[in-house]
Amino acid sequence: MKNYLTINIAMYVNTQIIKVDPEIVEPDKIEIIADVLSNDGTIVYPTETFYGLGANCFSEEAVKKIYRLKRRAASKPVSVVISDLDMLRSVAVNIPPEFKSLYSELWPGPLTLIFKASALLPKNLVGSAGSIGVRLPGHSWLRSLVRCTTFPIAATSANVSGEGETTQPEKVIEMFNGKVDLIVDGGKTKGIMPSTVVDLTTGKPQILREGAISASELSKYIE
């Protein structure tokens, strides 16, 4: 019984909750969130689709926390969010020519592009395939946050693997209070559909998941 109690106490985190307006997030709040991430903390935050779960993508320990929180299989890679194209080069290599038309028309936005992963990324983030999903988020506040941290954020939906995404801050607080270091309450997100996922590692771009950006719209840029 003693060991059981010790384990459970160690798992509890004193979660900080910050309320924001995603359209106008104060710089001091962005600095607080960035500080948590810089110290290998985990956060829950609003995106232009659903709530996400994030951590420093270059920290193996922080990435481990994400997998534990989601109960996610180690074989399933986690994506990252970046602040600009310069940051893309820190996580991706062998960027194909097809990328130019996609980013010029559809980034920032709900589009995740899969590239060959940089050797700088921890192995537990990229999985056996050695690839990484990257998104330039539509929310300007989230790009500002990533710019403030100076590193990309490992990002995945704020839920347990196999369960649905959520748009409601009350639900993520119920799920993650006491488990993550900080929850950013940005109110209800749009959450109509998740990001569309396109694989750019196979020679010809392949749509792996049709989401907020339709296949017909994508066809203008990847044919």
Q: Residue 33: phi, psi to the nearest 5? A: -65, -45
CATH H superfamily, domain 13-108+115-193: DHBP synthase (3.90.870.10)
Given this model, what pLDDT does residue 221 score? 85
Please, what is the average pLDDT of the chain?
91
- Helix boundaries (H) for the chain: 2-11, 27-38, 60-70, 85-88, 99-106, 123-126, 140-149, 169-176, 215-222
pLDDT class of 154 with cuts at 50, 70, 90: very high
Calculate mean pLDDT across residues 38-46: 97
On the question of pLDDT at 94 being above 50, the answer is: yes
Residue 6: strand pairing partners = none
Measured CA to CA in angstroms, residue 10 lies from 13, 17, 106, 136, 179 at distances of 8, 20, 43, 35, 10
- The one-character DSSP state at 89 is T
Per-residue pLDDT tens digits for 156-196: 999 988 888 999 999 999 999 999 999 999 999 988 889 99
Question: Given this model, what pLDDT does residue 76 score?
Answer: 83
Pairing of strands 79-81, 16-19: unpaired
Domain boundaries, the chain: 13-108+115-193
